[in-house]
Amino acid sequence: MPTESTIMDAPHEIPLIADPLAEALHFLRMEGVFYCRSELTEPWGLHLPEMADCLWFHVVTEGTCTLVDATGATHVVAAGDVVVLPRGGGHTAWDLDGTPTPVVFDLPHDYISRQYAVLRHGGGGQRADLICGLVQFGHPAARFMVAMLPDVIHVRGAAAETGWPWFEGLLSLMASETKDPQPGGEAVVTRLSDILVIQAIRSWLNTTPDAQQGWLGALRDPAVGHAIAKVHSAPERDWTVASLAAECAMSRSAFSARFTELVGQSPMQYVTLWRMHVATDILRTEGLSVFEVAMRLGYGSEAAFSRAYKRVMGRPPSQARNDVEATAILQ
């Protein structure tokens, strides 16, 4: 049995999980911007504007509605359905085509907290209840995945058609928490919402041929997925094509060709791009100086890091901290 001293003396190597795609799903940690229980009565209509770097989701707990996305595609949404708009695309929801659709943020809400509200809207007719949310992703792996997703993911009758026997119970719990808020209820609803969004994305990944292509397909490849996961776990390491190929027990040329074919860019281009996304998150969330971020990510100097950042991201790293977050719009 290992002793405390042998554990402490062991190399601090981050263990690599067996499934890089599962790792990417693990990175889908969401930060709630706005959650709303919508009690809508016919006739009613809403416009939900485009929100950059955010994800919209809707869960229908009672009744039906029609959702029209930014491309003009129509989605008829019934009780038990989940709709996710991964890139925060603007869309319209209504009970009947032609009903006025005011911007949802312009309507009066009953705020339970700064991020959670109840919306009662409509003409008093037949009712539809929705749980709606606007969330952000913080980790760069989430942003890579979201970029690969379709504009709209619509999971119909999730309890019956996806084999989620727990789904009806989860919806009931969400409805109960939103109708009769209890202490800590907001935290419960946000956690349940996270589960719903991730499950909707998993449903798409498991059933759509597009999920086998590009970066998502590369994550499923035993060799390339392994290399990507290594880069994700230790972006500061002095990676080379040779060292990554060695991790996969492949020749340098064979690994480079396979990586480029699946990912669409060379291994070292990917390493640099990943580092820049990680750097952006650090600059936005940890308040470190550009020099400190450069040192953390293994660059020999601030100047070298700044040149790489500007080349990849198109702006100096100092500007990353000045980005306006979506939450500021709602404050």
User: Which CATH number applies to 221-322?
Assistant: 1.10.10.60
| pLDDT at res. 153 | 92
List all residues 6 or more positions away from 304 whose beta carbon is below 8 Å from its beta carbon. 294
Categorise residue 157: left if φ over 0, alpha if ψ from -120 to 50, beta otherwise. Answer: left
| pLDDT at res. 215 | 84
What's the topology of domain 20-209?
Jelly Rolls (2.60.120)
| pLDDT at res. 6 | 39
Specify the DSSP element, H or E, that contains 36. Answer: strand 30-41
What is the pLDDT tens value at each position of the chain, 331 positions in all? 444 343 334 333 434 445 677 777 776 777 778 888 899 999 999 999 999 888 999 988 889 999 999 999 999 999 888 899 999 999 999 998 889 999 999 999 998 777 788 899 999 999 999 989 998 877 766 777 788 889 999 988 755 555 566 767 777 777 677 666 666 666 777 778 778 888 888 888 777 777 777 888 888 888 999 999 899 889 999 999 999 999 999 999 999 999 999 999 999 999 999 999 899 888 887 878 999 999 999 998 999 999 999 999 999 998 876 653 323 333 3
140-148 vs 267-285: helix axis angle to the nearest 10? Answer: 120
Domain ranges of the chain: 20-209, 221-322
**Residue 282: φ, ψ to 5°:** -65, -45
| pLDDT at res. 179 | 66
Separation between Cα atoms, residue 19 and residue 42, nearest integer Å: 47
| pLDDT at res. 240 | 96
| pLDDT at res. 330 | 31
Specify the DSSP element, H or E, that contains 160. Answer: helix 158-161
Separation between Cα atoms, residue 253 and residue 98, nearest integer Å: 59
